[in-house]
Structure formats: C-alpha cells, structure tokens
Amino acid sequence: MATCTGCALLCDDIEAIVENNRIKETRNACRRGAARMKGCVNRLVPSIDQKPTDIESSIRKTVEIIKNARSPMLFGLDNSTCEAQAKGIRLAKKLNAVIDDTSSFCQGLLIERILQKKLRTCSLDDIRNKADVLVYWGSDAQDSQPRHLSRFSYFPRGESRQRGYEEDRKAIAIDVRESNTAKICKGHFYRIPLKGDREFILALIEALSGKVPAYDTKKMLELAGILKKAEFGAVFVGIGLTYSIKEDFDILTALAEKLPNFNIMPMVGHYNMRGFNEALFKETGFVNRVKLEPKAVHDNKYSIMESLIRKNTDAIIVVGSDPMISLPRPVLTYLASIPVICIDPCISMTSKIAAVTIPCAATCMESGGTAIRMDGKVISLSKIITSEYMPDEEIMDRLMEAI
C-alpha cells in the first residue's frame, strides 16, 4: 500500500500500479490524490538565473547566496518529510536565519493552541469510531480533503456508530456559502455573512448558556440544542473560520469550554504542515515566525509576510512551497527582487522567479520517510519508484555540509 501526500489526511490505503517505473494507475485515491500520485506535469530542472545547469552548480550557487546574505529566511517545508524538516530547522539554526511556513497565514496559531493543550482534540480514528455530531466550520472538506467524510467522519460505520450517517451521525456546516460539504449536511447548513463568525460564536455561546441569542434566535437555539445533545462531537476548523476571527483564538476557546463533549481539529491542507509545526514547537516552543539566532526568538515580524513588507529578508530558500501564488501582490514585488532559491520537484510560480532552482524527489513516489497527519498521528511514507532526484532531506544535508 502507498500513502498519498495530496493533503494532510495522508490516506495510507492507496494501491499504486507501477509500469516501467511510472505510476500508471491508483486505486482508492480521490481525484486530487490520483493526480498528485501521477507526479509533476512539468518537472523542475536545476538552474541559475533561469538558465539550466547541473545540481552541483545549483548547490554551489545557493551556498554563495546564503553565505553573503545579511538576513536569510527558510520558508516552507510543509510538503517535506519530518526528516527533511528536522534538517531544515538545523540548517536555519546554523544560518541564524528566520524560519517560517504556510501555517503563518492559515492554521498555525490554532495548531499551537492544540500543542499547548489549550484546546481539546482527538484522533481521526476516534471520530470514525465515536463521533455523533460533526461540525464543518469554514471548511469545505469535500474539496480540500476529499476523503475526510468518507474515511473518518460522516459516512463510515464506527465501533459505537454502527448505523453510520443514516441514523447515528449528524453533519453540520457553518459557512458563508453553500459549499459541497454543506450540500451533504442536508438540513444542517447555517449560512453566515462574510466575516460574521465572531458574532455567530458569541450568539452560540449565549444560546449554549441558556440565554436568548440576539442573532437568528430560532436557528441558533436549534443548533445549540443539537450540540448539547452530542455524546462525542468534533468541530473541524477551516481557514474560513481562522481568517474570519483574525487570530482571536480566545473566542474559540470560550466556545470550546461551552462544548465539553467536543474536540477541535484544524483542517490542515499541506500534507506535513502539522509535522513542521510540531518539530519547530518542540525545538523552540513556537510553531512558526521564529528567528534562530542562536536562541530562538518568536515575533510576528518574522512571518514571511511581515519580513517581506519590512524588506528585512535579503535571500530566501523556499522548500516545497509556492509563496508566489499565495501572497499579496505588493509583497511579491519585493520577493521577486531578492535572490530566491526554490527547492521543489515541480515547476511553480516561485520557481519561475527564482535565482536558483534545485529539483528534488517527489515524496512518497520517489522518496520515503514519515509525516504527521492532521490529527497528530505519525504516518510512514514509502518510496514506490526509483528516481535520479535527491530527496529534500539530502539537499538539506548537502547545504549544511557546504555552509
């Protein structure tokens, strides 16, 4: 069996049919996963200043750029194995560099609260076996983690939920639009206005406290009634909710206190973002936005966004990430003006502006290791086909040696 790295569900029940050292077909994967497992559409080649070269020259040029940088940054590693992440953190330490990842502008602070044990959580296996009420909040799992409902939450039979979704489970969607997930939740879709999550949470806390909420009273009391009756519930927090409450996780903690039978789970996208967050948390006590100099300092000014806005970074190594498609335009102008080193299996928008590109093996097809699923479970990833490309873990080693 192979493991899919298409999202942080890390489905490890994938059958891969290999022919002539290529993955010809997959079974059990969703469409997104099947496409991922077929590999890159356009493979990255080693280059310097957008001119093709060989790997050794790309590595030498990277070392030259990084040694001359006053304030380098290492960004990404969410699509790398735990082994590569550990080496990336060591590399950043050696460089006294800033280290940050995509969680800096999505689920990082929520994961930090969970690692600090300030929010109750559980495993996906617990959800499959015990959960009777599932709340998808600002999360369209059907599109982002396509097998979430079928493998773990709504559709499967579980030890204490033998009658599955027909009788034993209720799925609820709270969102600004009727997403594909909301359509599955039948009568339990609660539409909220854009950025209206905060008011919705406050009204729900009132309803759960036995008060009459000022906000959509009838529906709010109905929702509070369902949540109060839950024996084992889960709130799946999507980026719709985290963006809307703007890092004010105290309000989510206040709601969680009113729901003692519920667990909170961040709906992580990148397959090993949680792995990166856990590794950096273990090393520094923070999940992102850290300068390793040599004592770790955490500050918002070390987020990729702030570092680029303030023009504090003068060279950046991007590993398995594509900030050119996720950051706002004014920030991108500065990013494109500094030396970017892009380590990735595939061509990306970031590789197109990079001063140096270093292609690496695609994890779980061409290299193995371990990764941490969105619920914190360690999953092993095995190599399926042989490849001439170095795993990103080995590239981190090479950079460490040369620096």
Task: Write down the least CB distance from residue 364 to ligand SF4, Å.
Answer: 10
Say whether residue 275 binds ligand SF4 (CB under 6 A). no
Task: Write down the least CB distance from residue 377 to ligand SF4, Å.
Answer: 13
Residue 188 CA to residue 338 CA, distance in Å, equals 49
Contacts of 158 (CB under 8 A, 6+ apart): 127, 128, 129, 130, 131, 164, 168
Task: Write down the least CB distance from residue 146 to ligand SF4, Å.
Answer: 5
Residue 366 CA to residue 242 CA, distance in Å, equals 34
- For ligand SF4, which is the closer residue by CB, 32 or 130? 32
- Span from 5-13, 110-118, 225-233, 383-391 in contact with ligand SF4 (CB under 6 A): 5-13
- For ligand SF4, which is the closer residue by CB, 4 or 237? 4
Say whether residue 233 binds ligand SF4 (CB under 6 A). no
- For ligand SF4, which is the closer residue by CB, 74 or 384? 384
Task: Write down the least CB distance from residue 207 to ligand SF4, Å.
Answer: 34
Site size for ligand SF4, by CB under 6 A? 13
Give the residue, chosen from 146, 269, 323, 359, that forms a contact with ligand SF4 under the rule CB under 6 A. 146
Q: Do the Cβ atoms of 11 and 33 come closer than 8 Å?
A: yes
Give the residue, chosen from 17, 22, 29, 207, that forms a contact with ligand SF4 under the rule CB under 6 A. 29
Say whether residue 134 binds ligand SF4 (CB under 6 A). no
Say whether residue 7 binds ligand SF4 (CB under 6 A). yes
Both structure tokens of 188: 């339990």
Handedness of CA 139, 1, 3, 120 (dihedral sign): positive
Contacts of 93 (CB under 8 A, 6+ apart): 292, 294
Residue 274 CA to residue 8 CA, distance in Å, equals 8
Where would I find the H helices in 230-374? 239-245, 249-258, 273-284, 304-309, 323-326, 329-337
- For ligand SF4, which is the closer residue by CB, 146 or 275? 146
Say whether residue 149 binds ligand SF4 (CB under 6 A). no
Give the residue, chosen from 2, 16, 23, 33, that forms a contact with ligand SF4 under the rule CB under 6 A. 33
Give the residue, chosen from 47, 85, 139, 145, that forms a contact with ligand SF4 under the rule CB under 6 A. 145
Strands (E), 148-211: 170-175, 189-191
- For ligand SF4, which is the closer residue by CB, 4 or 239? 4
Handedness of CA 239, 242, 245, 251 (dihedral sign): positive
Query: Closest by alpha carbon to 329, among 312, 308, 315?
Result: 308
Say whether residue 238 binds ligand SF4 (CB under 6 A). no
Q: Which residues would be at the binding site for ligand SF4 (CB under 6 A)?
A: 4, 6-7, 9-11, 29-30, 32-33, 145-147
